[in-house]
Amino acid sequence: MAEKEKDFQYVADRFADICILRYQVPGFDGLTLKQKSLIYCLSEAALSGRDILFDQNGKYNLLIRRILDTIVERFSGTRNEQFTHFLDYTRQIWFASGIYHHYSSDKILPQFSKNYFIELVYRTDWSDFPLQPTESIHELIEALIPVIFDPEILPVKVSQDTSGDIVKNSAVNFYDDVTQREVEEYYEKLKNPDDKRPPSYGLNSKITKKEGRIIEKTWQINGMYHKAIEQIAFWLQEAIKYAENHKQKHIIRTLISFYQSADLREFDRYNILWLDENEGRVDFINGFIENYSDPLGMKGTWEGLVNFVDEEATRRTKIISAHAQWFENNSPVDDRFKKEKVTGVSAKAVLAVQLGGDCYPHTPIGINLPNPEWIRERYGSKSVTLDNIMDAHHEAEIESGVAEEFSLDEQEVQLLKEHGALANKLHVDLHECLGHGSGKTLPNVSVRTLKNYYAPLEETRADLFALYFIGDKKMAELGLVPSFDVVKAQYMSYIRNGLMIQLWRIKPGRQIEQAHMRNRQLIAGWCYEKGHSEKIIELIKKNGKTYFKINDYPSLRKLFGQLLNEVQRIKSEGDYEAGKRLVENYGVQVDRQLHSEVLDRMGKLDVRPFTGFINPLIEAIKDGDRIIDVKLNFETDYDSQMMYYGKKYSFPDIK
């Protein structure tokens, strides 16, 4: 395909509260055959872990998805309006990798009846559906009906309500028949306070009981998820043949070794090697990584991402990372919490080619890894900004009408449309490249002391770092911010989203649960409270609608700096109580009247609150066993891709 097709259709599908987009991959045709072949093998590895994520998100997810897939393919009855509701429900399950909403964590409830579901079952061919020898499909369905339809049974994937047992009250499939206290005591006994390089205990395992004794079941070859991980390792082994350099080969071999042994120290070695490889153009992420879905913030969901460097856009990130020490030295935080020497900061803008696991279909726009704090402090971090994913978002958003609806005048609209794309990319660059890797914890302080508040506080810290420094004159001196209008666009969109627009994603009567949403409201709400009396941020009513207007951008930047100082202190000192107060007071509760207004205004626009992506199909053209070309096919649709993945990347050992 052409590098920038003008008629490229970004919007692929819409259903429920979701808009499915396509992303372009400009520059792919200019890669060498070896690089394309490497991408192909790594992409197969990235897709082979799909079942793992479904199972991690809930113990019944895989079984339910396979039943839904079978009905979609083989139902012989009339496909009427009820069937349309069924298909929309199935699409949501595909999107969320399970029966829990990817953002709110609430169970997704069907808009069709139990009786209709039973009718679907009876009119579907189950001849080769994988069943246990003693069960029938009808008995299986009867057992699953309460899980699917009853809102009181396993109602939420991740519970954040600390007044109860957040392990027992979470449906996520990391724990079975254990309490929060038992899990915390189990891992506390494993810790060695003298270990300066502690592994990420619990990252790749499930905790359960056997004969009353707690046991840890690891995810590895010849362990849990054996078949899927074996397939991942197979494609990683194939990728070694096409690696661009010896470092890449060593990285991939070490990752395979981790999948064989489940040794978390081997995973740390892999991370350190991965950090050091910045010469090849192709890169990837593969493994048990982010812990947002664990109420205790320990277990890593499986994810995969394959990308290659956007050499032109990477100029941006290289300039930022080259001045990492300057940013650290000039951060508005206490000197006790600053790094004396910033090391190992690498950053690049990349073009995603394949998304997998927890990166698919809903997709990050930037990534900063690895997560272990001691690795960050000793070896640094690597950041990637997914430029083509951000471009797809921007192209879809500028046509949505949201900017017009929440702007006071046409000048604000034009500011967002002309400068919003660059402003957002610079924010993500600063957030991922430097924000997450900035600062340090005090000796003998563990970030785990922040428990379930760590994720929103860490995202708050990185966002504040980006917001503070995007408005610094240094960014203009470096040639990254061509005018202060870029800063205005970012501050305007951030405050507006944090105080209003993101409420669109919350159901009436609910509070905010998701970490990134909590962090955005925390920042916007705190700054409004501290600055509204001086009209730094002003609430304006016009024609019965609410608007937030920023009158003093430099003063708002100072507020970002003050809050960054406090959040860094909380992290550096491990101040759980202060962190809890900050999140609970500013990041959780919803203004019901404002929420109702936002829902009404957004409901009049033909847009969806959540977006995700379908992948291009990567086709290896072969002469015998030899790859002679690799092509990208963008013609697939959402339903076809999900059904195809359900057949090709499904492994029977994951029940």
What integer pLDDT is reported at residue 652 of this predicted model?
Answer: 79
What integer pLDDT is reported at residue 7 of this predicted model?
Answer: 67
Indicate the Cα dihedral angle 306, 263, 63, 105, nearest 10°.
-70
Mean pLDDT value across residues 334-359 = 94
- Cβ atoms < 10 Å from Cβ of 648: 11
Query: Exposure pattern of 576-588 as b/e (b: 16+ CB <10 Å)?
Result: eebbbebbeebbb
Q: What is the mean pLDDT of the chain?
A: 94
- Report the share of the chain in percent with pLDDT over 90: 87
Quick: pLDDT tens for 204-259. 999 999 999 999 999 999 999 999 999 999 999 999 999 999 999 999 999 999 99
What integer pLDDT is reported at residue 607 of this predicted model?
Answer: 86
Q: Residue 273: helix, strand or coil by DSSP?
A: helix
146 pLDDT more than 70? yes
What integer pLDDT is reported at residue 133 of this predicted model?
Answer: 78
What integer pLDDT is reported at residue 4 of this predicted model?
Answer: 44
DSSP string, 75-115: --S---HHHHHHHHHHHHHHHHTSSB-TTT-BBPPPSS-HH
* Residues 278 and 269 sit within 8 Å (Cβ to Cβ): no
* Residues 489 and 416 sit within 8 Å (Cβ to Cβ): yes
Mean pLDDT value across residues 426-436 = 93
170 pLDDT more than 50? yes
Angle at 552 between CA 549 and CA 553, to 5 degrees: 95
What integer pLDDT is reported at residue 655 of this predicted model?
Answer: 54
* Residues 89 and 110 sit within 8 Å (Cβ to Cβ): yes
Query: Exposure pattern of 460-480 as b/e (b: 16+ CB <10 Å)?
Result: bbbbbbbbbbbbbeebeeeeb
What integer pLDDT is reported at residue 400 of this predicted model?
Answer: 87
Q: Whole-angstrom Cα distance, residue 475 to residue 104?
A: 36
- Measure CA of the first residue to CA of the last residue in the chain; give whole Å: 40
Quick: pLDDT tens for 184-206. 999 999 999 889 899 999 999 99
Question: Quick one: tokens of 507?
Answer: 């159901």
Quick: pLDDT tens for 253-304. 999 999 999 999 999 999 999 999 989 999 999 999 999 999 999 999 999 9
Nearest residue to 137 via CA among 122, 148, 115, 149: 122
Quick: pLDDT tens for 55-96. 999 999 999 999 999 999 999 999 999 999 999 999 999 999
Quick: pLDDT tens for 572-611. 999 999 999 999 999 999 999 999 999 999 989 978 989 9
Confidence of residue 631 (pLDDT cuts 50, 70, 90): very high
Nearest residue to 491 via CA among 449, 462, 520, 459: 520
Confidence of residue 451 (pLDDT cuts 50, 70, 90): confident
What integer pLDDT is reported at residue 447 of this predicted model?
Answer: 75
How far from the centroid of its chain's Cα atoms is residue 506's Cα? 18
DSSP state of 340: S
How far from the centroid of its chain's Cα atoms is residue 307's Cα? 16
Indicate the Cα dihedral angle 517, 520, 523, 524, nearest 10°.
-110
Q: Residue 159: helix, strand or coil by DSSP?
A: coil
Q: Whole-angstrom Cα distance, residue 616 to residue 253?
A: 27
Q: Residue 279: helix, strand or coil by DSSP?
A: coil
| Residue 304, H or E segment | strand 302-309
Q: Whole-angstrom Cα distance, residue 407 to residue 483?
A: 20
- Report the share of the chain in percent with pLDDT over 70: 98
Q: Residue 626: helix, strand or coil by DSSP?
A: strand
Q: Whole-angstrom Cα distance, residue 287 to residue 602?
A: 37
Length of the chain: 655
Pairing of strands 545-550, 610-613: unpaired
What integer pLDDT is reported at residue 332 of this predicted model?
Answer: 98
1 pLDDT more than 50? no
Three-state SS string across 396-435, please? HHCCCCHHHHHCCCHHHHHHHHHHHHHHHHHHHHHHHHHH
What integer pLDDT is reported at residue 654 of this predicted model?
Answer: 67
Which amino acid is located at 449 in the chain?
T
Mean pLDDT value across residues 551-562 = 98
* pTM as predicted: 0.86
What integer pLDDT is reported at residue 128 of this predicted model?
Answer: 87
Confidence of residue 347 (pLDDT cuts 50, 70, 90): confident
Question: Quick one: tokens of 473?
Answer: 């004159």
